[in-house]
Each structure stands twice: as structure tokens, then as C-alpha cells.
Amino acid sequence: MKVMAQMAMVMNLDKCIGCHTCSVTCKQAWTNRTGTEYVWFNNVETRPGQGYPRTYEDQSRWEGGWTLNKRGRLQLKAGGRLKNLLTIFASPKQPSIDQYYEPWTYDYENLTDAPLQEHTPVVRPKSLLTGQDMKVSWSANWDDDLGGGPQLLRDDPVLAQVSDKVKLEFEQTFMFYLPRICEHCLNPSCAASCPSGAIYKRSEDGIVLVDQDACRGWRKCVTGCPYKKVYFNHRTGKAEKCTFCFPRVEVGLPTVCSETCVGRLRYIGLVLYDADRVLEAASEPDETKLLAAQRSVLLDPHDPAVQREAERAGIPRDWVEAAQRSPVWHLISRYEIALPLHPEYRTMPMVWYIPPLSPVVDVVAETGEDAERADNLFAAIEHLRIPVEYLAGLFTAGDTAPVTGVLKRLAAMRSYMRDINLGRDADASIPESVGMDPDEMYAMYRLLALAKYDERYVIPSAHAEQAHALEELATECALDYDGGPGMGGSGPFGEGSGGAYLNDPIAVENFHMLKQRQTTDTVADPASRKARVNLLNWDGKSTPDGLFPPRPGPDGADLREPASDDSAAVVQPRPAGGQPGGPAGAGTAGGPLEPGVVPGEPGSRSPGDPSRGGDEGPADGSGTGGGAR
């Protein structure tokens, strides 16, 4: 037994309202840059639907994940090592940008620059790949909420498996949302496909990362990942993927997608697993037994033998304790209501899902029957073959029994808790009918319905002695982007080249960025026309000239000479002389940073001048100009 720790996630699909907050915040945090416009580390798909990229689940076409070869041995579905290398010059099974979508922006400038004319000027969509006009015909959520109707739904690969029974009459259909991130698999096929060995699994917490310095852009990982969650940054020529927000997780914070989830449907925690058994479990010949095989790889952190082995493997004691409290382990192994997405890809995905009961409840409610009664719900689960089979296609390789089991437990919990909430006697036969005892059912209810922040996210922080090892382990270069803080624009050999040594690590970048935002209190400085910025191309992170007021750095480097700005008066004036107790004084770098003032720099302040207080304005003291930034 070789015990390893794995960060895992569970999402409760019943709670997902499809608001895309997770996607948006993730994008803001990680992929808001040129080259990754089309990239969504986190996306929310409406199911049934084609998903993103389109039809990614059709592995007969995209050949992602693993398969068993004739001798029953595990092999990459796209082919063995030699074939993988021989097809390196044009990866044959890679989605093109059409399967994702061509990113675009709008020519908003036309609204203000257009000459006087009879008709209202319009903004045209412009491709972010070519800069040319384009016709927008697809995007990441084009089929959101079943948009596009039966026409687009036909191409859902999961639906195709059960389609002979599906009428897909629009008013009889069902839908739910499926948020997806990288699965951080135990047996990652992206890593196995990478010719350069740049994708690796962190042995500390199992997070799968791309070493940006080692990636050579062979793009085999895109083919290898059956979930299509490794993306090709078309500007830097490197693969990028969900990082499980490792800088946050290392200090005990949940990922951005979890933190901002409105429905609070995500759970994060550790699981311990037996690394020696992963290959054997992934090689299970019967696809429908893969779910059980995957569960069996996970270890019970309460088992003294496991604890002993964990200690031998160097897993800290508090990590084992965190694994015992892990909501993820409880949902997967104790209550057995969480299921992995597409276990048949044999990658042992580590983002698990609690399948939604809502379609069933809705149907029962529509019939006028009591939708909270266990019997009614049980009968409906048996009766509603289509949703159940569809869910089985997603979570259990087509075997409906585990899905039915989960839905029955959820239904039982509903009716059991209704009795308690209404002050009636709790009916112990309900938990029994689904193989649980009442205490266990109540605990499950607590975890699903009431769990607070620190119960949903049980994340042991990395240890001080590990901190060195973990810090900036891999993806710092993901910040090397056009105009980014580490870059100063495009390098001599193309986007993102050069400057590797000049980069700020993530922590430093965040610190400066935050400080800058906190100490900035005026709108942008439109002093010169040249400094005007096209906000469309602003990636949200860089600080192009003129977008922000000069940063009141202690070295005064960013301060401008207001006298030379003929239009300085346009800027919102602030009272000269400063207000030591005012917001400007409170928020900016005050006394402690004073020694950094460079004498002779235009606009540098005299440290001894008490009238200036905390005001960072230039020292000429003239009326409006003095306070203008």
C-alpha cells in the first residue's frame, strides 16, 4: 500500500442554478489574457447539450482518455507511445478553434469616433484571432438552457446513447447544469500523453499542473484529456489548465470557483488513496464496475492501518485528520451519493458529482402527487427511465443501479427530514429502506443542506516545511502574457518569450496588484490623447499607460509633472494640501515608505513637508493640479 493524498471536489448538482459565477470568477482570475480568450478552466454546461468544446464526450471521435488494448492492458486511446510521437507534427485528433469558439470583441470605439450621420453607429464584432469582422455563430454557452432546441441537442454524445427512447419533445424534456473543472485525475491521460513530461501530478496533494518552462507545445495533452480541460494558449504556444487554484489551496483557501459559488454546491477536501492500486482499478475490464473500482482505491482515513501507512509515506498528521473530516470522502465513500464524471474514460477523475433529483421531483409535483413522499419519489425514480439513463451515461458508464441508489437516498432524505421539520415522529424505516441509519441520514442532511464554510471546505494548509517546496511550483509563467506585469510586451521571439527571469511570482504580482487597486482612488488620467486606452483589449490585470492614475510609488517614478499636462484640469480636482486623515492619506503608502523618495524626480515630495500629509500629489502645490492624479 502506498498512501497518497489527493485534493478532490464534489459538486451537488441539485443546487446548481447555472449562474456561471464560478466560470466568470475563474476566468477573471486565471484566463483573462490574450491567447486564452477562448479558455474556460471552469465552465457550466446545460445538459443535455453538446458541452464545451462541442461534443467533447464523443471519444470515438476525439480519442481522449484510456482504453484497454487486446491484451487487456491499459493504453492511451489515441494510441501507443510510438504512434503518439509519429503523429507529433500534426496532432490528428485535436479540436480546432471551431469546436471551442472563435473569440471576439466589439469595435466599441466606433460609437464615439463615428462621424455625424443619419443612422446610429453600430459596433461590429471583431475576431480576436484576426482582427477582422466576423459573424458570431457559436460560443462557450451557445446552447445554454437548451438554447438551440432539439436541433443542437441531437449532437449530445451522451444523449445519443439513449436517444432511441428520447422523444425530445421540447416541453417534455429535462435539464440540469453541469459545472466542470479539470478532474485532477488519479490516472491523468493528459500527463501520460505529454511527450515532454511537462504535465505532472504533485505528489503532495495530487494537483495536476503544466510546467510552463518544460512545455514545448506538442499539444498531445489536448488530445489525451477526454474532458478537454487542457487548453492550448495560442499566443504563447503552451498548454494551460485548471490549477485547482493551488496558491489558494496551499494556504487553506478554497478555489476561486468554490469560494464564489452562489449555490454553495461545491465541497473540497482531501482523500487518501492507494497509489499502488490505481493501475489495477483503471484496468477493470467491465466498464460498469469502474465506479466501484474507483471507490475501492480510496482509503478510509479512520483505519489505523491506513494511518500507519500514511505516516510512513510522510503525510503529516494534520493532513490525515483533515482527510477524516473531509466532506468529499464522506460524500463519496460513506454516504455513497457522489459519482465521478465518465468513469469509463479510466482516468480516475477526482471531481465527483451528486446527481440531481430535481427533474424527478418536478415530474412528481406536476402530477399533483405529494413530491416529498418517499414512496412517490421511489416510484418516480423507477419510472423516469430517461433522466436516470442519461445520468447513468454521465456518471456510471451507463449502469443505472448506482444512479437510482443515489437518487433514492436523496429522496429518502427529503421525506425523512420533512417529518422532522414538521415536528412529526421521524420514520426510521425511511433511512433503513435505503440502507442508512437515522443518524447517518441526519449527518448527510447536515452536510448537504447546512454545512458552513469550514465544513464544506476542509483544506489543510501546506506545511511550513513544505512551503518552499510548493511555492510557485509550476505555473508562474502563465502570467507571462502580452503586456503583463512580468513581460513588458511581446518578446523578441514571439508572444511571451524572453523575460523568464524577470517574472514576478504569483504572490508578488497579487500583492502589487492589490496594493495598486487599494491605493487608487481616482478615475483614469486622460491627460494626453496618446495615453487613452482601448478598454476592450485590456485584460483586467495589466496597467497600460493612462488607464490608472500614476501609482504613488515611494520612488515617485510614476508621478507625472502636472504642469506639462495642458489638460490636467480635466481631471477631477482634489483639494490641495492634502487631508492627513482623509481617504487618500489613509489608503496610500504613508510614512514608512518615505525613504524611497528620489530627490530630483519630477513630482517627488519633500518628506518633511507636513502640509502634504499623506497626499501623494506632486509638490508644486498649485491649485487643482496639485491634487490631480
Partner 1 sequence: MTSTLDVVLWVVVPYVCLAVFVLGHVWRYRYDKFGWTTRSSQLYESRLLRWASPMFHFGILFVFLGHVMGLGIPKSWTRAVGMSDELYHFLAISIGTVAGVCTVVGMALLIWRRRTVGPVFSATTRMDKVMYLVLAVVIALGMWNTIAGSILNLGGHYDYRDGVSVWFRGIFRFDLHPELMAEAPIGFQLHGMSAMLLFALWPFTRLVHVFSAPVGYLWRPYVVYRSQGPNRLGTRADRRGWERVGAGDRPGDR
Residues 61-90 that bind partner 1 (CB under 8 A): 81-82, 84-85, 87-90
CB 387 to partner 1: min, Å? 35
Q: Which stretch binds partner 1 (CB under 8 A): 187-195, 522-530, 531-539, 616-624?
A: 187-195
Angle at 286 between CA 190 and CA 53, to 5 degrees: 35
Question: Under the criterion CB under 8 A, does residue 461 sit at the interface with partner 1?
Answer: no
CB 552 to partner 1: min, Å? 28
- CB closer to partner 1, 85 vs 305: 85
Looking up cell 469595435 gives 107
CB 84 to partner 1: min, Å? 7
- Choose which of 31, 32, 212, 243 interacts with partner 1 (CB under 8 A): 212
Q: Which stretch binds partner 1 (CB under 8 A): 25-33, 40-48, 147-155, 213-221?
A: 213-221
Question: Under the criterion CB under 8 A, does residue 572 sit at the interface with partner 1?
Answer: no
- 185 SS3 class: coil
Question: Under the criterion CB under 8 A, does residue 276 sit at the interface with partner 1?
Answer: no
- CB closer to partner 1, 94 vs 433: 94
CB 76 to partner 1: min, Å? 8
Quick one: how far is CA 369 from the chain centroid? 40
Give the strand pairing for 351-354 and 3-12.
parallel
- CB closer to partner 1, 223 vs 376: 223
- Choose which of 218, 353, 378, 548 interacts with partner 1 (CB under 8 A): 218
CB 231 to partner 1: min, Å? 9
Angle at 205 between CA 204 and CA 210, to 5 degrees: 95
CB 195 to partner 1: min, Å? 3
Contact at 8 Å (CB) between 51 and 176? no
- Choose which of 26, 199, 271, 436 interacts with partner 1 (CB under 8 A): 199
Q: Which stretch binds partner 1 (CB under 8 A): 199-207, 261-269, 388-396, 403-411?
A: 199-207
Question: Under the criterion CB under 8 A, does residue 227 sit at the interface with partner 1?
Answer: no
DSSP annotation string for 209-231: EE-TTT-----HHHHH-TT--EE
- CB closer to partner 1, 269 vs 496: 496
Q: Tell me how crowded residue 197 is: count the other CB atoms within 10 A of its CB.
A: 10
Q: Which of 565, 548, 547 lies closest to 602 in space, CA to CA?
A: 565
CB 96 to partner 1: min, Å? 5
Q: Distance (Å, rounded) from C-alpha 157 to C-alpha 50?
A: 7
Q: Tell me how crowded residue 25 is: count the other CB atoms within 10 A of its CB.
A: 18
Question: Under the criterion CB under 8 A, does residue 470 sit at the interface with partner 1?
Answer: yes
Question: Under the criterion CB under 8 A, does residue 196 sit at the interface with partner 1?
Answer: yes
Q: Burial level of 133, CB count in 10 A (0-12/13-18/19+)?
A: exposed
Q: For every residue of 540-581, which 3-state class applies, written as one string?
A: CCCCCCCCCCCCCCCCCCCCCCHHHCCCHHHCCCCCCCCCCC
Question: Under the criterion CB under 8 A, does residue 537 sit at the interface with partner 1?
Answer: no
- Which run of H or E residues covers position 351? strand 351-354
Residues 228-257 that bind partner 1 (CB under 8 A): 232, 234-238
- Choose which of 83, 216, 308, 446 interacts with partner 1 (CB under 8 A): 216
- CB closer to partner 1, 55 vs 260: 55
Q: For every residue of 151-166, which 3-state class applies, written as one string?
A: HHHCCCHHHHHHHHHC
CB 476 to partner 1: min, Å? 7
Residues 121-150 that bind partner 1 (CB under 8 A): 127, 129-132
Question: Under the criterion CB under 8 A, does residue 94 sit at the interface with partner 1?
Answer: yes
- CB closer to partner 1, 26 vs 474: 474
- Choose which of 496, 549, 578, 603 interacts with partner 1 (CB under 8 A): 496
- CB closer to partner 1, 129 vs 524: 129
Looking up cell 490623447 gives 529
Residues 278-297 that bind partner 1 (CB under 8 A): none
- Choose which of 63, 204, 250, 565 interacts with partner 1 (CB under 8 A): 204
CB 203 to partner 1: min, Å? 4
CB 481 to partner 1: min, Å? 11
Residues 341-380 that bind partner 1 (CB under 8 A): none
φ/ψ (deg, to 5) at 430:
-65, -55
CB 299 to partner 1: min, Å? 18
- Choose which of 109, 309, 372, 471 interacts with partner 1 (CB under 8 A): 471
- Choose which of 203, 518, 534, 572 interacts with partner 1 (CB under 8 A): 203
How many residues touch partner 1 under the rule CB under 8 A: the total is: 71
Q: Which stretch binds partner 1 (CB under 8 A): 11-19, 184-192, 423-431, 452-460?
A: 184-192
Looking up cell 441526519 gives 442
- Choose which of 32, 91, 258, 542 interacts with partner 1 (CB under 8 A): 91
Q: Burial level of 47, CB count in 10 A (0-12/13-18/19+)?
A: buried
Contact at 8 Å (CB) between 143 and 152? yes
Q: Which of 273, 289, 185, 266 lies closest to 227 in space, CA to CA?
A: 185
Question: Under the criterion CB under 8 A, does residue 474 sit at the interface with partner 1?
Answer: yes
Looking up cell 477562448 gives 38
Q: Distance (Å, rounded) from C-alpha 70 to C-alpha 307?
A: 38
Q: Which of 344, 349, 347, 378 lies closest to 364 in space, CA to CA?
A: 378
Q: Burial level of 463, CB count in 10 A (0-12/13-18/19+)?
A: middle
Q: Distances in Å between the alpha carbon of 37 and those of 103, 135, 451? A: 6, 17, 35
Q: Which of 278, 277, 255 lies closest to 266 in space, CA to CA?
A: 255
Length of the chain: 629
CB 81 to partner 1: min, Å? 5
